[in-house]
Chain A
Amino acid sequence: MALPKRIIKETERLVAEPVPGIEAVPHEDNLRYFDVSIHGPAQSPYEGGVFKLELFLPEDYPMTPPKIRFLTKIYHPNIDRLGRICLDVLKANWSPALQIRTILLSIQALLGAPNPDDPLANDVAQRWKEDEPGAIATAREWTQKHAAP
């Protein structure tokens, strides 16, 4: 089966009208596999960082959500040490009306609004709750160390 029209259309639109601060480029040898980079949102500890991610559209996309993970190390209560992201719309709350574009925007929003009550990286979330300024400082440090553009 050839690449579904929807994936072709989404890719074309991502290239033609990119979302500000977000880039997604498909691999030449696998058009379902994207290299993504997201700029840390302003006024967040991730500001100034450029975070690399990888995204894969499984066989039954858009009936199942895209698989996505951070490749750049990031200190965030909802992102674990392997870059896996805890975001409802990537799991139970996925809807086939969502798109790569909307998902990447949600991830960018998650960077701007960490959510320590719904943690994936337990120790980070714990610290975020007990010592938020300290945690934010670490997040900023990690951004400078690992996500410098």
Chain B
Amino acid sequence: MSKAKVPRNFRLLEELEKGEKGLGAESCSYGLDDGDDIMMSNWTGTILGPPHSAHENRIYSVRIHCSEQYPEQPPSVTFISRVNLPCVDQTTGAVDATKLPCLAQWRYEYTMEHVLVELRRSMGIPQNKKLPQPPEGSTF
């Protein structure tokens, strides 16, 4: 044990405060689903589609679930808004953890913001940015 290890709940509180104060990335936001959930398990995130891509000006919502083992284990992420991306299951909207590098090589220091930012980045990479997208506003 070289550094103090922040326990799950205090880590999630830190993330919540960062999200509430709007200190995170401009293009992504996230908040607790249920302000009464003392275990802070379910979150909703939004991603603003990156410019110069098929996603420009779109807003995507995702559901994020943090298990008891978070942040030892990565959160599970599911798109609510329909989106066509290689890492997203086209029937359920679930993000395939093996296909998103930050989930596949998850580290204790990573946060939900990391995941949202990386999802947004994957929308803008050359091989994905021209993918045909479902109508805006449709959901899984």
Contact = CB atoms under 8 A, between A and B. Distances in A.
A57 B4 CA distance: 8
B38 A56 contact: no
A84 B13 contact: yes
Size bin of chain B's contact surface = 10 to 19
A140 to B, nearest CB: 20
Nearest to A68: B10
- Most chain B beta-carbon neighbours within 10 Å: one of A27, A81, A82, A84: A82
Most buried by B among A56, A58, A73, A84: A56
A89 B134 CA distance: 53
A56 B35 contact: no
A26 to B, nearest CB: 11
Q: Which of B2, B4, B7, B13 has the most CB of A within 10 A?
A: B4
B91 to A, nearest CB: 34
A32 interface: yes
B9 interface: yes
Contact of B6 (A1, A27, A58, A83): A58
A7 to B, nearest CB: 10
Interface of B: 1-7, 9-10, 13, 16, 32, 35-36, 38, 40
Is chain A's interface secondary structure helix, strand, loop, or mixed overall?
Answer: loop
Given A82-B13, A84-B13, A73 B38 contact: yes
A56 B2 contact: no
Interface string A31-46: 0110000000000000
Contact of B3 (A59, A61, A67, A81): A59
Interface residues on A, range: 20 to 34
A54 interface: yes
B40 A82 contact: yes
Contact of B38 (A3, A57, A67, A82): A82
Contacts of B4: 32, 57-59, 61
Contact of B35 (A33, A61, A82): A82
A81 B2 contact: no
Contacts of B2: 1
A27 B13 CA distance: 19
A56 B40 contact: no
A127 interface: no
A71 interface: yes
A51 B3 CA distance: 29
A101 interface: no
Interface in A1-47: 1, 3, 27, 30, 32-33
Contact of A69 (B1, B3, B5, B13): B13
